[in-house]
Amino acid sequence: MKAGNLTISVPNKGCNKNCPYCVSKITGKTESNVDLMIRNTDKVKTLAKAAQVFCVLLTGKGEPTCNTEMMEFFIKRFAEFSVELQTNGIELFKNPGYLHRLSVMGLNIVAISIDDIEDFHPDLLKEIQKAGMLSRITFNVTNKLHMPGRSYQDMEFHDLIELCRGHVDQMTIRNVVVPNNTERCKETIWIEDNVDPSVYQKLEQQMIRACEEHGTLIMKLPYGAFVYDYEGLAVSYSRYCLQDHNNGEDIRSLIFQENGHVYTSWASGASKFGV
């Protein structure tokens, strides 16, 4: 068994951003059991090592930085791994001095997801790097994401590269899609009405073509995506938000849910695994 990473769902204490395509709302709430999460943490660490995990991702059904107590607990307990925080960046932008504290605890990567160019804050990215951590921007590709004065459909890979150049270490483009085996709701309807799949496909094709011509392949990730060095920037893509199935050797994430159990799929309660 191999897994790309261990994803920890920090117990939900709300979110300070109301994304209309929120995958957490599509896949439903999970009852929190903080005591069980704490009791199972050592077992989950053993499982992650057995699955040859290197990176631990902190995310959540809510925004992780809205629950600093548990977020800090997991950073400290998994500090021997490469620890990445996936966040909308709002709280960190308001309090950039907090970044040094997180770095000392063991945080290595701050990955900020944005869906609006106005949420790209170079000063925050500079503070992340000053604190000794790597910075990543993940662009969620919907019609909310466009360059000033231009349409969503006109966006190009090089627009995003120019925005990131000199500010971030890593850049990812993410395809916003409706996960399989989920019920129709206002979030899935919003995705149907506001996401043009051809825009993401164009950006991914432009990325791959540019990297094949002028970049270098760094690695192939366990679930099939590639990471390239393009002009000193690590770039990659994510074709889907959630993995629906695996063959045991390409598990995208072991998911430590806030109910205290581990799964291999966000959308399937039957994928409970080991703990």
Phi and psi angles of residue 109, each rounded to the nearest 5 degrees, phi first: -135, 135
Specify the pLDDT at position 221: 75
Pairwise pLDDT comparison (102 vs 219), residue with the higher score: 102
Mean pLDDT of 110-139: 97
Q: In whole angstroms, what is the distance from residue 109 CA to residue 132 CA?
A: 9
Q: Where are the domains of the chain?
A: 3-271
Q: Look up residue 238 and give its two tokens.
A: 């994510």
Please tell me the least confidently modeled range out of 41-50, 184-193, 258-267: 258-267
* Res 36 pLDDT > 60: yes
Specify the pLDDT at position 241: 58
Q: In whole angstroms, what is the distance from residue 141 CA to residue 196 CA?
A: 9
In angstroms, the first-to-last Cα distance of the chain is 15
Q: Which residues pair with 262 in a beta bridge?
A: 256
* Res 58 pLDDT > 90: yes
pLDDT band at 248 (very low <50, low <70, confident <90, very high): very low
Sign of CA dihedral 180, 185, 187, 192: positive
Kindly state the percentage of the chain with pLDDT values over 70. 94
**pLDDT tens-place string over residues 150-175:** 999 999 999 999 999 999 999 999 99
Q: In whole angstroms, what is the distance from residue 158 CA to residue 218 CA?
A: 19
* Res 78 pLDDT > 70: yes
pLDDT band at 182 (very low <50, low <70, confident <90, very high): confident
Q: Which residues pair with 111 in a beta bridge?
A: 86, 136
Please return the burial class of 141, using the count of CB atoms within 10 Å of its CB with bins 0-12, 13-18 and 19+: buried
**pLDDT tens-place string over residues 191-246:** 999 999 999 999 999 999 999 999 999 988 766 678 999 999 999 998 875 544 44
Q: Look up residue 77 and give its two tokens.
A: 């307990």
Average model confidence (pLDDT) across the chain: 91
Pairwise pLDDT comparison (49 vs 4), residue with the higher score: 49
Specify the pLDDT at position 53: 92
Please tell me the least confidently modeled range out of 116-120, 155-159, 182-186: 182-186
Sequence-distant (≥ 6) Cβ neighbours of residue 162 within 8 angstroms: none
**Whether CATH 3.20.20.70 fits 3-271:** yes
Q: Which residues pair with 137 in a beta bridge?
A: 112, 171
Q: How many residues does the chain have?
A: 275
Q: How many CB atoms lie within 10 A of CB 268?
A: 15
Q: Look up residue 233 and give its two tokens.
A: 């920037």
Kindly state the percentage of the chain with pLDDT values over 90. 78
Specify the pLDDT at position 244: 43
Please tell me the least confidently modeled range out of 194-198, 250-254, 269-273: 250-254
Phi-psi category of residue 166: left, alpha or beta, with phi > 0 → left and psi -120 to 50 → alpha: left
Residue in 89, 143, 132 with CA at minimum distance from that of residue 112? 89
